[in-house]
Amino acid sequence: MTPKKRLAAALRFEEPDRPPHFEQTFELEKEAFGLAHPGEKEMEAASGPERERLFARCAEIYARTVQEFGWDAALVWRPAMRNEAQYEFIPFLKRYLGPDVPVGSFVWGSSISIDMVSDYVRFSVDLYEDIGKLHAWAQSMLDSSREHARRLIDAGCDLIDIASDYAFNSGVFISPKHFRSLVTPYVADLVSFIKKNGVTVILHSDGNLMGVMDQIFEMAPHVLQSIDPMAGMDIAEVKKLTYGKIALMGNVNCSLVQKGPTERIIESACYCIDHAAPGGGFIYSSSNTIFKGVPLENYRAMVEYMRGRF
């Protein structure tokens, strides 16, 4: 199957020849290929032939990653989100990779979340004394994110990853009641806007989301990532709740992928495949990203295990 067909089958809750695989980001390009993405200022300042040259360097990294690790899609994180260069780079990368590899990008900071709150004392007071202020903030983030999403859609994105962290290992960062007021309707609005434009939506959050899974259904993304095992998110349990409604991505323990040993990485990968792959609706990936500090051989072990299974 082509990557595009493999991913489409999984999202229809059909079993493809193997689970589709890609990561949110891959930051080991130097270790894997001896290449590096251009700096953001360098990319923004370049024009004409120089910009094309920098685009080609980025595209080569994505292409090698897709080929080397069997990715079924590529999410653009360099050039960075809202760098004007990204809106030009996305169609460039789509031409470079060809029609069989879906290309997407990110919307960060789309709603009130752990990573957006800088003063938790003030935030806690506002929850009870000035919630209108928080709703105004949430609306401004939504308006900005819709505009960014529109530009990504116009650039040709096949996928958009709405990335925010809503939970700690112990649970959601605010009460389910406040979450329903300040987060769910705004995320649902953004998800609906993107879906109406025919683009696949991935919703990312670390942490234990079980206390608001009913609200995740109301947000209605196509895919939920990361199904965080370090926070007690059991993909077998989550699959039973979400099957036929929301596909799942992730759950291979990123702490083990970082620290090993290989046997524990394989154990986590095996659990994911055994419990999430049957019946489709599953994208194989780590429970976060392949970030700097992950030994390349550990990620290779995770990938090779899946290849050996199928």
| Confidence band of 159 (pLDDT split at 50, 70, 90) | very high
At 170 the pLDDT is 97
Q: What is the DSSP secondary-structure string of 211-266?
A: GGHHHHHHH--SEEEE--GGGT--HHHHHHHHTTT-EEEE-B-HHHHHH--HHHHH
Over range 262-290, report the average pLDDT.
98
The pTM for the full model equals 0.97
At 80 the pLDDT is 84
In percent, the amount of the chain with pLDDT more than 70 equals: 100
Q: Which domains does the chain have, with CATH numbers?
A: 3-309 (3.20.20.210)
Integer Cα distance of 260 and 137 in angstroms: 41
| Confidence band of 251 (pLDDT split at 50, 70, 90) | very high
Classify 106 as helix, strand or coil.
strand
Q: 81 pLDDT exceeds 80? A: no
| Confidence band of 149 (pLDDT split at 50, 70, 90) | very high
| Confidence band of 83 (pLDDT split at 50, 70, 90) | confident
Q: What is the mean pLDDT of the chain?
A: 97
Over range 216-243, report the average pLDDT.
98
Q: With residue 168 as reference, give the H or E element that holds it.
A: strand 167-168
Over range 161-178, report the average pLDDT.
97
Q: 128 pLDDT exceeds 80? A: yes
Q: 31 pLDDT exceeds 90? A: yes
At 144 the pLDDT is 97
At 82 the pLDDT is 72
Over range 5-31, report the average pLDDT.
98
| Confidence band of 37 (pLDDT split at 50, 70, 90) | very high
Which of 17-26, 45-54, 58-67, 215-224 has the least mean pLDDT? 45-54
Over range 126-155, report the average pLDDT.
97
* 277 CA to centre of own chain: 18
| Confidence band of 44 (pLDDT split at 50, 70, 90) | confident
Query: Which tokens belong to 69?
Result: 């690790």
At 147 the pLDDT is 97
Which of 38-42, 145-149, 199-203 has the least mean pLDDT? 38-42
With beta carbons less than 8 A apart as the criterion, state whether 291 and 259 touch.
Answer: no
At 230 the pLDDT is 97
Integer Cα distance of 209 and 61 in angstroms: 33
| Confidence band of 174 (pLDDT split at 50, 70, 90) | very high
